[in-house]
Amino acid sequence: MSLQIAWDLAQTLVCNLGMDLWTDDFKWFVWFLIRSAIYGYILYHAFCFLRRKVPGVLGYGPIRKDPNMRKLRRVFAERLF
């Protein structure tokens, strides 16, 4: 009879351990998703800010087409024809 009690005790311990592992994995997954969402939000807004502000800080203005290059293309086009 004591063997049966020991077997039942071992089975309940294994079942409880399995449930604890499942809940720990679930908690880890939920926290992973929450942290990923927060870090993604921060990185997205940081890159948007950097894309807007850094070129002006470094001295680059808005990207424009150089009018002299257009004139040069016209000259080459006239020389070719």
Comparing 80 with 38, the larger pLDDT belongs to: 38
DSSP output for 45-78: HHHHHHHHHHHHHHT-------HHHHHHHHHHHH
Query: Three-state DSSP class for 1?
Result: coil
Comparing 50 with 9, the larger pLDDT belongs to: 50
Q: Compute the chain's Rg from CA coordinates.
A: 33
* Neighbour-count burial for 40-69, b at 16+ CB within 10 Å, e otherwise: eeeeeeeeeeeeeeeeeeeeeeeeeeeeee
Entry pTM: 0.45
Q: What is the pLDDT of residues 23-70, one digit of tens each?
A: 778 888 999 999 999 999 999 999 888 887 777 666 666 666 778 888
